[in-house]
Every structure is written in structure tokens, then in C-alpha cells.
Structure 1
Amino acid sequence: MNFNCRPVEPNDLEHICSFPQNADELYFVYPKAIYPLTCEQLQSAIDNRQNSTVLTHNNSVIGFANFYHWENQGCCKIGNFIVKPDYRGQGAGSFLLEHMMTLAKVAYSATHIEISCFNTNTQALLLYARRGFVPFHIEQRSDQNDHAIALIHMRKST
């Protein structure tokens, strides 16, 4: 498939808000948000982050990611990472992840990239591992039902 990335635009928000299919998926992407994701919640995340990026296919928005931490010649942390359900398992996530890693290196001279993933998000964990990310820390969190869940922090050198 032919994918492209570009900076997020205001008209993209409604499309991105439709990607999480349930409260669990939204929690994986944006734990502070309340399901269903609204444009206001998403805009709040965008306002507090850098390089909010959409992934497109045939000019349709099919993915989203940004940096919630960035430092020159240091670490960039990818957040709000999501791909539209119809495009999962087709290389879209890998393309977006590679774009964000390149962006971190070019824009911030990042020496490494980090991404965090909840233990119950198996498909994302496998994607990150296939792309060379290695776990370095496990943090106990509580999910939206107040059950213990593990947040696995992963890192890759650029």
C-alpha cells in the first residue's frame, strides 16, 4: 500500500476520534481520555505535544501519533499511537512508527526513541518488538476498571 504522513490538520480530528473501537482501545492510546474520544479531548492532547502526525492512504486519514516528550540529542517518546481498524495488520503501523522515528532523529537529533504499551495490547507489543523496540521497564498502573495492568516501556536506538 502507498502510505504518506503529514502534520495533523483540524479537519482530521473527527476521523481520528473514530479509530478507538471501545473504551479499552482508547485507554491504550490515551489513558486520560473518556470514551468515546471527542475532538476536544484529542485537541487537548495535541496542544500539549509535539509533531502530531497523521498517516494517510489515498488521502484518507488512517493513523495518528505524536511525541509527548522530546529533547534535542536525547530521547523522544511516541504517544497517542493508533491506526484505523481497517488498516491494522497491513503495514500501516510499521510505516507510521518508522516515520515517527525518522522525524525524531531529523527534528531533534534523538539518540533513542521510546514507546509504552499496556500488557493487554498484544498486537501493538508485537509490532514494536518487530520494529526493534526492547522492553526496559515495567510500571504497574490501574486500568479504567481499577484493575492492575502493566505498562511496558520500550526503547530503540536511532
Structure 2
Amino acid sequence: MNIQCRTIHEGDPVIISSAFAEQGWDKPQSLYERYAQEHQKGERVTIIAEVDGVFAGYLNVLWHSTYPSFRSQGIPEINDFNVLIRYRRQGIGSILMDQAEAVIKERSAVAGIGVGLFSDYGNAQILYAKRGYIPDGKGIHNGEKYIGYGDHVQIDDDIALFLTKELR
């Protein structure tokens, strides 16, 4: 198995969207077209992983996070990290994370990432802990505000705990 990483190209959006559709996920091509445009503008870095030349996963580095704590501190965020189900547990996620951390290290001593709270994110939770990411101490966030004691929320993909790692 030959795993290679590269940045997003113009022809990737249709390939990525189709690959996720094959596994039953709705990830519209327009999302990846936006990623490619923002990558070209330098607003994000979109890293693609391929196995033997076939798309396997991706992640983004956002230079200006929408998460308030990261944004105010200038912490780049690893964002929208996805590996196709058939390629999971083969080291691809770790390779993508290595690439993202190397990109971030060129500009920042700290990397940030958010992770969902329910079982679908279990593998990611374990991966981030093993890589040395620790909670930022702000609690959970729903994409709009921090969740406080007594708040009622629906647990979905927007509910996340944000973590940071010192890059050495």
C-alpha cells in the first residue's frame, strides 16, 4: 500500500464528493470547490491522501479558525478531517495529521482541533489523545456558543470539544 499526500487540485472536488457518496455520505461537490478556491487564496490548506493513486481522505488547515478561542489566539485549526471508511485503521489519518502539523509548524507553535462527543468520533478522540492533544479548558462549543451548566443541546456534529497541541 502506497500512501501519498498532496494539496487539493482543481479536479478533486468531483472525485471527493463521489467517493463519499459511494459510502452513503452527503458531501456536496460545491463544498470541495470552495475548499479548492480558499486553498488557492491561501485561506486554508487542503491536504488529500491517496492510496495507490486513489482518493482515501483529506483534512484542512484553517489559518483563521471560526472557533472563538483559536481565532483570538491565532491558533490554526485542523478542520473537517475525513478518511473513507474502507481506508480507516491503516495509518492514513496519522499521515494526514503529520502533514497538517508540519504545515502549521511553519507558522505557529500550537495546533488546534475540534472533536465530536459521540461514538462516531471515538477513533478520532483516541487518535488525538495519542498524538498529545489536550482540551483547551473552555468546555464544549456548538458552533455558536460555549455550552454551560444546565444548557440543553442536541448532540450532533456541531457539538465539539476543542483541543490543542504544542508543536515541538
Specify the TM-score bucket, using the shorter chain as the normaliser: 0.7 to 0.9
Whether the aligned pair in 1 keeps the contact of 2:57 and 2:82 (CA below 8 Å) is: yes
Does the residue aligned with 1:89 lie in a helix, a strand or coil? coil
User: Matches of 1:56 and 1:47 in 2, distance apart?
Assistant: 21
Of 113, 116, 124, which residue of structure 1 is paired with 2:114? 116
User: Matches of 1:85 and 1:10 in 2, distance apart?
Assistant: 24
Does the residue aligned with 2:20 lie in a helix, a strand or coil? coil
Q: Which residue of 2 aligns with 1:40?
A: 30
Q: Which has the higher strand share?
A: 1
Amino acid at match of 1:10: E
Q: CA deviation at 1:122?
A: 1.2
Identity of aligned residues (%): 22
Rg larger in 1 or in 2? 2
Unaligned runs of 5+ residues in structure 2 are 65-70, 144-152
User: Matches of 1:132 and 1:125 in 2, distance apart?
Assistant: 11
Q: Which residue of 2 aligns with 1:125?
A: 125
Cα gap change, 1:138 to 1:2, in 2 (>3 Å): farther
Q: Is 2:154 aligned against 1:147?
A: yes
Q: Which residue of 1 aligns with 2:13?
A: 13
Q: Which residue of 1 aligns with 2:148?
A: none
Q: Which residue of 2 aligns with 1:58?
A: 52
- TM-score where L is the length of structure 2: 0.72
Q: CA deviation at 1:152?
A: 0.6
Count of equivalent residues: 140
User: Matches of 1:141 and 1:75 in 2, distance apart?
Assistant: 19
Aligned-residue CA RMSD in angstroms?
2.5
